[in-house]
Homo-oligomer: A and B are copies of this chain.
Amino acid sequence: MGPPGSPRGGVSHAYAADLEMIQEARERIAPYAKKTPVHRCATIDALMRPARVDLETPHDSDVSLFFKCETFQKGGAFKFRGAINAMLRLGEADREKGVVTHSSGNHAAALALAAKTLHCPAYIVVPEGAPRCKLDAIETYGGRITRCAATVSDREATCARLRQQTGATFIPPYDHPDVIAGQGTIGVEFLEQVPDLDAVVVPVSGGGMISGIALAVKALNPDCLVLAAEPGGEMGNRADCAESKRRNEVQMDMPPPETVADGLRARLGRCTWPVVRDLVDEVLVVSDVDIVRAMKLIYERMKLVVEPSGAAGLAAALSPAFADLNAKSAGWGKTARCRKVGVVLCGGNVDLGVLWKSYGL
């Protein structure tokens, strides 16, 4: 594998999506999805660690962070982009029969909202034990919930039965070309808003978002680093993306991570792994404490509501690993280290019940 910044093979049409598909997706979803704003925060910039090369002569970091606020996307997370793109790609007859997916997270709510937007049914298979607030979101958007046991076999059988009964099309949460292309529109927008980004930090789970963004960013600006933020417990254990990259072989059978970031518990898939393997420059593993501290900064300093998964990118940008990488990057042939760093705040769907309870609601 080549050095980061000049990945082996560059951007290839052998991947599940490419820049052209992403550009088309962008036009396709423009009437429905929001162009989300980019925020900055001087107080958080001042917290960025100086790169290790600077440690002997301490001074303020000159890194500036640019936050892409997908929290303001329809449905409160980036997932709407991929969901509405996949639905719009269906033929009219198929679209009218509706869509089906299994999830209790942001993808299910986004697909329900996309279906509602296009006046089609969305059948959502939800495992027993899913939290009430997630079911509420799906129901708010008119999703038709079918319960199943919390096993892979029952989940797949329930989906298959629904497809047979209704003719609905299965839209997976990330491992699908149209979903990846939809999420890639974040990358195109971000580089329009901040053309000279030196790096972009993106939370990784199934890899749909980071694949799409990497395909867009590496095609538009090959010098921009694409960095994954992955939750991994105190010792970095159970971080499948980091482990897959280390071994250069996808680790699909690792146990799911135990993390506060409930949106980041999936594993890389067949469509997303090749992109992550070739176009993601480094994986930064963050602990739950890092994530919650980053979340607190975002609430207190930026006045934005994010879910834990949404804060993982900032946690990674604030990590010693990023400072190390930033110092090393000069040695990777870049004329300067990363001064302008994009961070994707990918979602804001969080249960704040404890807060409302404290106010007597």
If A292-B361, A359-B292, A360-B292 touch, does A300 touch B37 (CB 8 Å cutoff)? no
If A71-B303, A76-B303, A303-B348 touch, does A296 touch B354 (CB 8 Å cutoff)? no
- Complex-state Cα separation, A298 to B300, whole angstroms: 15
How many copies of this chain sit in the oligomeric assembly? 2
A211 to chain B, nearest CB (A): 25
- CB of A72 within 8 Å of the partner chain: yes
A290 to chain B, nearest CB (A): 11
- Complex-state Cα separation, A361 to B290, whole angstroms: 10
- CB of A235 within 8 Å of the partner chain: no
Neighbour of A354 across the interface among B76, B305, B354, CB < 8 A: B354
Report whether A296 and B361 are in contact in the complex, using a CB–CB cutoff of 8 Å.
yes
Report whether A303 and B72 are in contact in the complex, using a CB–CB cutoff of 8 Å.
yes
Most B-side CB within 10 Å, residue of A299, A300, A354: A300
* CB proximity to B under 8 Å, residues A302-361: 303-306, 308, 348, 352, 354-356, 358-361
* CB proximity to B under 8 Å, residues A72-105: 72, 76
Report whether B352 and A300 are in contact in the complex, using a CB–CB cutoff of 8 Å.
yes
- Chain B residues whose C-beta falls within 8 Å of the C-beta of A289 in the assembled complex: 360-361
Write 15 A-B pairs (CB below 8 A) sorted by A numbering.
A37-B37, A76-B303, A260-B359, A289-B361, A292-B360, A296-B361, A299-B352, A299-B355, A300-B352, A303-B305, A303-B306, A304-B304, A354-B354, A354-B355, A355-B355
* CB proximity to B under 8 Å, residues A30-82: 37, 39, 71-72, 76
Interface residues of A, count at CB 8 A: 28
- Chain B residues whose C-beta falls within 8 Å of the C-beta of A296 in the assembled complex: 352, 356, 361
A358 to chain B, nearest CB (A): 4
- Chain B residues whose C-beta falls within 8 Å of the C-beta of A348 in the assembled complex: 303
* CB proximity to B under 8 Å, residues A1-24: none
A348 to chain B, nearest CB (A): 4
The 7 A-B pairs with the shortest beta carbon distances in the complex, nearest first, are A303-B348, A303-B305, A71-B303, A354-B358, A292-B359, A355-B355, A299-B305
- Complex-state Cα separation, A5 to B295, whole angstroms: 44
- CB of A28 within 8 Å of the partner chain: no
- CB of A293 within 8 Å of the partner chain: yes
- Complex-state Cα separation, A71 to B303, whole angstroms: 7
Closest to A73 in B: B303
Closest to A348 in B: B303
Closest to A293 in B: B361
- Complex-state Cα separation, A158 to B361, whole angstroms: 40
A38 to chain B, nearest CB (A): 11
A357 to chain B, nearest CB (A): 8
- Chain B residues whose C-beta falls within 8 Å of the C-beta of A72 in the assembled complex: 39, 303
Known interface pairs A299-B352, A299-B355, A304-B304; 6 further A-B residue pairs with C-beta atoms within 8 A, sorted by A's residue number: A37-B37, A293-B361, A295-B359, A296-B352, A296-B361, A303-B305
Neighbour of A355 across the interface among B37, B303, B352, B360, CB < 8 A: B352
Closest to A292 in B: B359
* CB proximity to B under 8 Å, residues A123-164: none
Closest to A295 in B: B359
A140 to chain B, nearest CB (A): 8
